[in-house]
Structure 1
Amino acid sequence: MNTIVISSQKELAEWRTRIESAWQKSVQSVIEVGNLVKQAKEQLGVSYSLLEAELPFSSTVAAFLIKIAENPVLSNPSYHSRLPNGYNTLYYLASVDEKQLVQQLENGEITPNFTLASAKLLREAQPKKTTTKVKFAEPKKPKTITYEVGSISIAAPANTDQFQVDLLKLLTKYGGTITHTHKDNSLAEWHRKIVHQQACEMIAQSEAGLQNISYEEIRMLEDAAHFLTKDKNQKNKAELVIKDELVIRTCLPDDYKDLAKIRALLGIEQVTRGQLKKWCIDNKVPNQFTELSSMDKELYIWEQVRLVAERKDVKGGLKRLKDMASRSTIPNIKSLAQRALKEVTRFDNKA
């Protein structure tokens, strides 16, 4: 068991006195102090930090001094008269190649007047030490060649979850992959129709809970909002007065299929996306304008499933389902959105 011994104040004071006495900033004193600091560090152990706090120089300077003292050229007394006194300059010289350092001292290139800037340049001119990493050739993994098995047809599975588990086991066992097709007679298409049917049934059940608006009107407003977000539908403009200011906004064109019904429902002549949004929020109509984290209508989830299943707005429907599946603050809505998202992407090769 190692025992940590804290040195006495007397011992620390003795070291401090010796170091301070030697600290004259000549070459000889720099070397002497460097050696003393090194010895104190080795002998005092953990107590050195107590001494370090009382020294007439910083811990960085102490490290400089040790490096200088450890250099065999700089610590050689025969060269002391040729060296500059500054410890900063000596520190940079300590990083110069020893043979080069001796040569430049011998031929008079380094003198007591050698500057700190010159010492820095000399160190920077030193070739960088590079370590060569030995790379061992890794054995090449044999390339796996896969073969198409053919087309497999199955009866509609009673449990799609279990079917996919069984299929995954088979693929894992033989290192295979699968690409789902979406042809009319494919399993993915069968599943899409099942999901679409369920969505429509749930929408019909949820519609009974609506107030002041029908499901058909909700869908009508959703379609109109979606229409107004498309770049190609930005041509029709109208002048409106908003907060006593005349502005130009994109609005539904006169030939829009449900324009008359929407005008009657909203009670306005020119229907813009902003007006649609305000009316829906004011009347608490569940649609894309509602803050999804607080959406409390299951109807809206099933509406997104319908949009994806009908391929009417796959990108938008999936995005809103993902948002509710991750951001909803209502547990049952979040859970339903997660299950719905799983079903509409079950046979999606990108999922």
Structure 2
Amino acid sequence: MRIAFYGSSLLSSYWNGAATYYRGLLSALAALGYHITFFESDAFDRQSHRDIEMPDWARVQVYPASESGVHDVVEQASLADVVVKASGVGVYDDELLEGVMAAARPSAIRIFWDVDAPATLSEITPQPNHPLRRVLGQLDLVLTYGGGKPVVAAYRALGAARCVPIYNALDPATHYPVPRQVGLAADLVFLGNRLPDRETRVDQFFLGPAATLPKRSFLLAGSGWHDKPIPTNVRLLGHVGTSQHNALNSSALAVLNIARDSMAAVGFSPATRVFEAAGAGACIITDAWEGIEMFLKQDEEILVARDAQDVAQHIGALAPSRAAEIGLRAQSRILAEHTYARRAVLVDKLLRETLSARRTAAVA
């Protein structure tokens, strides 16, 4: 089957945390025989910050971030068997959603793929005339980056025929242990862009513990932190391309995961970074959110922190040998249960079930 996928960017992770999620899932679907065209706009300076070259498992079409550019790619939805509009493209999102779903053939499977479901639901729930609300009942599937039963129930209440979480996962060919780099060594590293719904939690779970542990070393990676007041024992790395994530995760004593506000509130939304770090065999410390046990076991495969004091206590008590043991257990669990190959099998099953249901309905 041919998939037309309209998302933020496959080629660049610059201000685009969904990049590795798209790459892992779509490359795994390509391995199952799907033919994928990914449409991404030339916006937010992403094309000058590409992390990968054009892949051999998908055709990528970059279009101008303009009305005419959107018009040209919308028409191509008519050529696909599966039409996917992802959330958070960043430019002309509403026009793309309504355009590609209108252009899709009657026989095509229509999907909205939400990579930030809690935030999307917060936006559309009070707006009955929101473009997504207007087309929701026409879609075959809503797939989400996470969110568990709360997100499924919320989308169903708004009229979605079917909503299924497709969680983040690991691509073991991309994220794996590498030799430690002295220049990236630290007691704790956090990788994430500076965003309004994340910054307060970074202050609490990362900068707060750093201030209370002046003799320990901390690395803060990601875009937007350059003018942030930070303790003297915190180093800033700026944007770190995906090609350097393995080295970053393999060089620190521990890697910190901090959920964005909405995802922490809903739970069941492990970030891509959790799986990347586990793939590299890193010891992960995460802020607390509901559903962690679905992916990793507390105190054996991941360390959980309820507040800044917990983070500081974990770092203070963490010997390199225990960090290595936790990292190895996490890597083993993720490789066994949470790879993109497994996620792609689930997506393939959903698509085939949708087609089968249509055939049954047509006969009836």
- Range of TM-score over shorter length: under 0.3
Q: Which has the higher helix share?
A: 1
TM-score by length of 1: 0.20
Higher relative contact order (CA 8 A, sep 6+): 2
TM-score by length of 2: 0.20
Q: Which one has a bigger Cα radius of gyration?
A: 1
